[in-house]
Amino acid sequence: MPDKLILFCGPSGSGKTSIVHHLLGRIPELAFSVSATTREKRSGEEEGRDYYFIAPEVFRRKIADNEFLEWEKVYENGYYGTLRSEINRISRTGRVAVFDVDVEGGLKIKSAFRNSLLDVFVRPPGIEELRRRLVARETESAESLEARVQKAGKELTYADHFSHTIINRDFDEASLHAEKLVKAFLSGVPQEGNR
């Protein structure tokens, strides 16, 4: 089992992915844990960098073979998950895996790696700001946008299950806060959670 792992989770549109990419560019000890998904590749996304894009039937077979650390069926034939092989791949490089997952996946990872994990919940300042961010992405249909907003409302109620919360009102401030948390964790400095 890896000595240290870092988890950022929160609703879609909270800014967790942008914060994780900021950290990856600033802290060389980190490596991105690439998730698997059955959704279609978006413009600009790259296989093995952004996601492992796999067919729903292959994903379901991997579930049956216990190849996932965590997985979730988010929408009909819309699966997301973290392959155990991805954690092993990063561990072999000597770097620290950084997870960027939704809340349900985050809770499963936290349960599995409680003693070696820095867990951070990223939240938007409110649902309307989250909706504005999702609309600005221009990647959602009206139906999927509403589904994500509905899901986000539920996910925000889980913030207290995580040791640290960052409210992403201002990206620069949120990124600096995340950077301080991660650097302290990597150096072994004990950290107080938000509770």
What mean pLDDT do residues 27-45 have? 94
Q: What is the pLDDT of residue 111?
A: 93
CATH number of the structural domain spanning residue 164: 3.40.50.300
Whether residue 191 is contained in a domain is answered as no
Q: State the pLDDT at residue 154.
A: 82
Q: Residue 29 domain-assigned?
A: yes
Domain assignment present for residue 45? The answer is yes
Asked if residue 131 is part of any domain, the answer here is yes
Can you give the pLDDT at residue 132? 73
In a domain, 40, yes or no: yes
Band (195; pLDDT cuts 50, 70, 90) = very low
Task: Please indicate, yes or no, if residue 132 is contained in any of the structural domains.
Answer: yes
Which class for 57: exposed (0-12), middle (13-18), buried (19 or more C-beta within 10 A)?
A: exposed
**pLDDT tens figures, 121-168:** 999 887 776 677 677 766 667 777 677 767 777 887 889 999 999 999
Any domain includes 195: no
Domain count, the chain: 1
Q: Among residues 16, 8, 30, 43, which one has the least CA distance to residue 133?
A: 16
Q: What percent of the chain has pLDDT over 90?
A: 62
- Using CA atoms, how far apart are residues 82 and 187, in angstroms rounded to an integer? 26
Asked whether residue 169 is domain-assigned, the answer is: yes
State which residues form the domain around 105.
5-186
> CA–CA separation, 127 vs 125, rounded Å?
7
Angle between helices 142-155 and 127-137 (to 10 degrees): 150
Q: What is the pLDDT of residues 44-83, one digit of tens each?
A: 999 999 999 999 999 999 999 999 999 988 777 789 999 9
| Phi, psi dihedrals of residue 133, rounded to the nearest 5° | -65, -40
